[in-house]
Structure 1
Amino acid sequence: MTPTRDTVLVVDDSPETLGFLTEAMEAEGVTVLVATSGRQALAIAGRVTPDVVLMDAVMPEMDGFDACRSLKAMPALAHVPVIFMTGLSETEHVVRGLASGGVDYLTKPIDLDELRARIRVHLANARASLSAQAALDAAGRHLIALDPDGRIVWATPQASRLIDELGIAKAIEAAAASSDGQLELAIPDALPLLLAPVGAAGPGERLYRLARSEADEANLLRSRFSLTAREAEVLLWIGRGKTNRDIGDILGLSPRTVNKHLEQIYAKLGVENRASAALKAADALRDG
């Protein structure tokens, strides 16, 4: 919790608990929103995005588990950490809370020092994850983050457009749920896409890149710039930052032959150097 007045949404059907937590957190300089039911929590969070949610697990009508799942299904709230408060310490209830999208749980009666510590940790994690996502969004890459069950947590704008245009959200989730390695996605009436693992995106999230195969990317460059098949291969590797020597080794060409291809590539792309050629290749592959 910081001097910038973090906002905490407390969801509990007990007026005593709401009063106790509200008084304690407001004394810390935190803005507190309160809800006495899961449905009320969804309505409030839909208007004001909290920094963290403290969620009672057991409530009438809509319990905390269902409310958490509904919150996580809202794109603007998917990153908000939900900490469960419960008198149920059995393993099955803890697992159920985490499975519904919660990041942690506290057993009632609530220890205020422990509560403050948990909030600080999860706020820091959520903000670090958001900063990383913002940087990836700005990079113009086709990247998506998936949870352990293969569900899409977030995607860069470029990936979101591609997923929507091709209607492949369910195909991605089904493929990722079955394996955490590189996968090929069959696309009706289109070239297949590769779902390539990149690394961890945030707590419990896996980062993937949506890409075409090398052959498909080379064919795209060939078509876009009227290149020969070999020129397209050379340009593909130029776009990936390879030196002439590297390209020669990869394609089995002499450095002199690579240079000859580069001269033709520069002329066809209307550029004067490899940096400009690499930029044009990257733009073409990104726009696909």
Structure 2
Amino acid sequence: MTQTRDTVLVVDDSPETLGFLTEAMEADGVIVLVATSGRQALAIAGRVTPDVVLMDAVMPEIDGFETCRLLKALPALAHVPVIFMTGLSETEHIVRGLASGGVDYLTKPIDLDELRARIRVHLANARANLSAQAALDAAGRHLVALDADGRIVWATPQAARLIDSLGIAGAVEMAAADDGGPLEVAIPDAPPLLLAPLGAAGPGERLYRLARSEAGDAELLRSRFGLTAREAEVLLWIGRGKTNKDIGEILGLSPRTVNKHLEQIYAKLGVENRASAALKAAGALREG
């Protein structure tokens, strides 16, 4: 902890607890932010993103459970682990703390060695998840993660743009609630999207790939390049590496007809060969 200079936000309305924890963690080289209420915690976290939050449960106005829920609702803070530390030790309180978004629950009086160990574990887990998400973001894939209730937790930039442009966040969440095989996301006046489950993305999260059906891909190419419906289908299969003979068999066309479509496609795309056409098609589909 001393080498990375972690930032910990301590939220507690007890001056004694705040003083005790601040002194101990600053001695470890940790940067400590202090909040004496839920509202103050939200204000501080809105300006400075902590690496971890230590949250008391019992506070006036907004209790720790509600404060945690509000923190987790903010995209910039959704990945930040919240550890509850409170005198409430009943099972119902522990369940409530975890349900609000907390990752751990310690009862007072706090054992500093145990607290340090838990902070290290949860920081490592949070950073591993962030690294994995960053790698997925950089890969240019249309991926989206949903929590156990079917709510969107995060999406790669490509998926986020697609979801926002089509206004289908609710439809994605509704489809994912079915939790079966590849699912269809209905889009008004357009071919549906496919939501394919890829497995677990993190604790309590499921990862999905958002993709167009073949009809959806062809429609995107048609509108992007001003093609006819048949030309769009031919270009789609060119982008997938199919030969003219393959395309003719797939679409029920003669080789002569495929060639005529190719001439029109090249002219509309401003290219001279199938390799260049395939590159343009792949780029359009990748950008969404």
TM-score under structure 2 length normalisation: 0.84
> How far did 1:278 drift?
4.5
Identify the residue that residue 87 of structure 1 maps to in structure 2. Answer: 87
Is the alpha carbon distance of 1:265 and 1:96 closer, same or farther for their aligned partners in structure 2, counting shifts above 3 Å?
farther
RMSD: 3.2
Is the alpha carbon distance of 1:237 and 1:2 closer, same or farther for their aligned partners in structure 2, counting shifts above 3 Å?
farther
Identify the residue that residue 112 of structure 2 maps to in structure 1. Answer: 112
How do residues 126-275 of structure 1 correspond to structure 2 at under 5 angstroms?
A: 126-222=126-222, 224=224, 236=236, 239=239, 251=250, 267=266, 270=271, 272=273, 274=275
> Does the 8 Å CA contact 1:266/1:272 hold for their aligned counterparts?
no
> How far did 1:272 drift?
4.8
Identify the residue that residue 28 of structure 2 maps to in structure 1. Answer: 28
Is the alpha carbon distance of 1:81 and 1:262 closer, same or farther for their aligned partners in structure 2, counting shifts above 3 Å?
farther
Identify the residue that residue 280 of structure 2 maps to in structure 1. Answer: 280
Distance in 2 (CA, whole Å) between partners of 1:63 and 1:180 is 37
Distance in 1 (CA, whole Å) between partners of 2:226 and 2:77 is 46
> Does the 8 Å CA contact 1:147/1:153 hold for their aligned counterparts?
yes
Is the alpha carbon distance of 1:165 and 1:228 closer, same or farther for their aligned partners in structure 2, counting shifts above 3 Å?
closer
> How far did 1:120 drift?
1.0
Is the alpha carbon distance of 1:214 and 1:82 closer, same or farther for their aligned partners in structure 2, counting shifts above 3 Å?
same
Distance in 2 (CA, whole Å) between partners of 1:168 and 1:119 is 37
Deviations 1:95-142 (A, max 9, x none): 211111111111221111111111111111111222222222223332
Is the alpha carbon distance of 1:139 and 1:18 closer, same or farther for their aligned partners in structure 2, counting shifts above 3 Å?
same
Is the alpha carbon distance of 1:180 and 1:28 closer, same or farther for their aligned partners in structure 2, counting shifts above 3 Å?
farther
| Identical amino acids, percent of aligned pairs | 80
How do residues 23-102 of structure 1 correspond to structure 2 at under 5 angstroms?
A: 23-102=23-102
Structure 2 SS opposite 1:186: strand
> Does the 8 Å CA contact 1:234/1:262 hold for their aligned counterparts?
yes
> Does the 8 Å CA contact 1:231/1:261 hold for their aligned counterparts?
no
Amino acid at match of 1:189: D
1:10 aligns with 2:10: yes
Is the alpha carbon distance of 1:85 and 1:228 closer, same or farther for their aligned partners in structure 2, counting shifts above 3 Å?
same
Deviations 1:1-35 (A, max 9, x none): 25121100011111111111111111110000111
Distance in 1 (CA, whole Å) between partners of 2:210 and 2:36 is 42
Is the alpha carbon distance of 1:224 and 1:68 closer, same or farther for their aligned partners in structure 2, counting shifts above 3 Å?
same
Amino acid at match of 1:150: G
Distance in 1 (CA, whole Å) between partners of 2:261 and 2:132 is 36
Structure 1 SS opposite 2:190: coil
TM-score under structure 1 length normalisation: 0.84
Is the alpha carbon distance of 1:189 and 1:2 closer, same or farther for their aligned partners in structure 2, counting shifts above 3 Å?
farther
Deviations 1:183-241 (A, max 9, x none): 2121223332222222322222212222211232134335545778777556545645x
Distance in 1 (CA, whole Å) between partners of 2:184 and 2:274 is 34
> How far did 1:43 drift?
0.8
Distance in 1 (CA, whole Å) between partners of 2:12 and 2:110 is 13
Structure 1 SS opposite 2:194: strand
Is the alpha carbon distance of 1:224 and 1:40 closer, same or farther for their aligned partners in structure 2, counting shifts above 3 Å?
closer
Which blocks of at least 5 consecutive residues in structure 1 are unaligned?
none
Which blocks of at least 5 consecutive residues in structure 2 are unaligned?
none
> How far did 1:62 drift?
0.7
Structure 2 SS opposite 1:196: strand
Deviations 1:229-273 (A, max 9, x none): 777556545645x676xx68x9499xx99x979986995652656
Structure 1 runs of 4+ with >4 Å offset: 222-235, 237-240, 250-253, 259-269, 271-274
Distance in 2 (CA, whole Å) between partners of 1:129 and 1:264 is 48
> How far did 1:38 drift?
0.9
